Amino acid sequence: MNFANALQGFVVLLWAAFLGMAGLTLYRASRNRKTASFTTAVIILGVAAGIMTTVSMGLVFVEPEERGVVISAVSPTGIRNEILQPGLRWIIPMVERVERYPISRQIYTMSADPLEGEGQIEDTVIARTSDGQEIYVDASVIYAVNPEKVIDLHIIWQKRYTLELVRPLARGVIRDAVSQFGVEEVYSSRRQDMASMIQEELAKNYVENGLILEDFILRNITFSPEYAASVEQKQIAEQQAQQARFVVEQRRQEAEQARQVAEGRADAQVIEAQGKADSRIIEAEAEKQALELLAEALAKNPDLLTYEYIMKLAPGIQVMLVPNDTPYLLPLPSMEAGSAMPTLVPTPQPTPTP
């Protein structure tokens, strides 16, 4: 409780005491009792109540979130040129009064929902886009009274500035901004651009009228039932097309994967075949070199072939028949340990026929 309110309460008590004492004095006078002391008390209380009333009417306490405009009957313009600042202030009783204006932030909401809008009414903004579509815009304006422009605001708008300045300006600027955008831009790609345009234009208009725009909130955008249905159908069609593209892409990826698997298998088979071919080539080269070495060895020692042939024979063969121009049978060496060395046995020569 501030001092001015406390003083007004005290004045009320003084007047109550004055009336009580005056009534008691009249009662005693009607009974022919002494009333001198009571009359004095009544006069003192009356004078004190009058003085305190005058003082209380001249004292004004301005809250920190307020500014005061002094309406003065003694001023040539009818209003003081100084803004009443926060604190305990003095005005001339009976000829001056104070109009208080809040400088804290205020919010005005325009919405299709009556519970959200001001005055519990439907207050959405109906606007048309550049391509002729009707849309419904819900928005909130956060603003404050400029402390330095309180007197001008009072002179022009008084306490009507909310409904006669804030609301009409906001609705007009919103309609103008919406008319510069297509319907698809409004709800998708350029919604933020539109909101920024509205905020910039509102801020300029509010400043010219003694207000400060703190923020503009674009709450919601709705469409006519017909357009909303067409948008929904379009979105469904786009989703179906997107799903179809997804399926096609999935099939393409599966086909690509199968092709890569087939290519991998083919490459593996080629590599395997190439490996076998390379292996055969290496084996052939080795055989070729072996044959060349064998041929060279045979060229140097012809009997080596006979020796290799003998070594390849079965171990049970003990003798063998050599060419007929050789007069000997060659017993083979025994495969058992300790066997005697072979000896050459002469073969009988056939008797020539006369």
- The β-bridge relationship of strands 328-331 and 345-346 is antiparallel
Residue 352 maps to a domain: no
Same domain assignment for residues 116 and 210: yes
Residue among 67, 64, 65, 56 at smallest CA distance from 91: 56
pLDDT score at 120 = 64
pTM recorded for the entire structure: 0.58
**Looking at the structure, do residues 94 and 112 belong to the same domain, yes or no?**
no
pLDDT per residue over 171-212, tens digit each? 999 999 999 998 888 877 788 999 999 999 999 999 999 999
User: For 23-60, how does the pLDDT look when each residue is reduced to its tens digit (9 = 90+)?
Assistant: 888 887 887 877 777 788 888 888 888 888 887 788 88
User: Residue 339 pLDDT more than 70?
Assistant: no
Residues 94 and 118 placed together within one structural domain of the fold: no
Instruction: Let me know if residue 7 belongs to a domain.
Output: yes
Average pLDDT (61-84) is 91
Looking at every residue in the chain, the average pLDDT score rounds to 80
Across residues 146-169, what is the average pLDDT?
A: 93
Residues in the chain: 354
Given pLDDT bands bounded at 50, 70 and 90, which one contains residue 283?
confident
The answer to whether residue 232 is domain-embedded is no
Q: Are residues 111 and 199 located together in one domain of the fold?
A: yes
Provide CB contacts within 8 A for 230, sequence distance 6+: none
Grade residue 340 by pLDDT with cuts at 50, 70 and 90.
very low
Q: List the Cα angle 325/329/334 in 5-degree steps.
A: 145
Q: What average pLDDT score do residues 264-276 get?
A: 80
| Assigned domain for 120 exists | yes
Measure the CA–CA gap between 195 and 20, rounded to whole angstroms: 65
Model confidence at 346: pLDDT above 90: no
In the block, residue with structure tokens 């009414």: 121
Q: Are residues 204 and 151 in the same domain?
A: yes
Total count of domains within the chain: 2
pLDDT at residue 338 greater than cutoff 50: no
Are 82 and 17 in a shared domain? yes
Domain with 139, as residue range(s), is 106-223
pLDDT at 167: 93
Distance of CA 87 to the CA centre of its chain: 46
Answer with the one of 223, 248, 272 that is the final residue of a domain: 223
Q: Are residues 127 and 90 in the same domain?
A: no
**Residues 154 and 135 grouped into a single domain:** yes
- DSSP letters along 201-257, please? HHHHHHHHTTEEEEEEEEEEEEE-HHHHHHHHHHHHHHHHHHHHHHHHHHHHHHHHH
- pLDDT at position 325 is 58
Question: Does residue 180 belong to any structural domain of this protein?
Answer: yes
pLDDT for residue 342 is more than 60: no
Q: What is the mean pLDDT of residues 87-104?
A: 90
Higher pLDDT, 8 or 320: 8
Residue ending a domain, among 162, 188, 223, is 223
With respect to residue 22, please indicate whether it lies within any of the assigned structural domains. Answer: yes
Do 14 and 46 share a structural domain? Answer: yes
- Which stretches of the chain are assigned E, i.e. beta strand? 59-62, 66-72, 87-90, 96-102, 106-110, 125-128, 134-145, 211-223, 319-320, 328-331, 345-346
CB 117 within 8 A of CB 111: yes
Residue 226: pLDDT over 80:
no
Q: What is the pLDDT of residue 153?
A: 94
Does residue 169 have a pLDDT over 90?
yes
- Residue 345 pLDDT exceeds 50: no
262 part of a folded domain: no
Beta bridge partners of 108: 141
86, 101, 116 — which closes off a domain? Answer: 101
CATH number of the domain to which 110 belongs? 3.30.479.30
Q: Are residue 179 and residue 112 in the same domain, yes or no? A: yes
Which has the higher per-residue pLDDT, 80 or 345?
A: 80
Distance CA 196, CA 177 (A): 10
pLDDT > 90 in the chain, percent = 28
118 & 181 share domain: yes
Query: Do 129 and 215 lie in a common domain?
Result: yes
pLDDT on residue 336: 45
Note whether 88 and 116 are within 8 A (CB).
Answer: no
Instruction: Give the CB-side neighbour count of residue 346, counting CA atoms within 13 A.
Output: 3
In a domain, 76, yes or no: yes
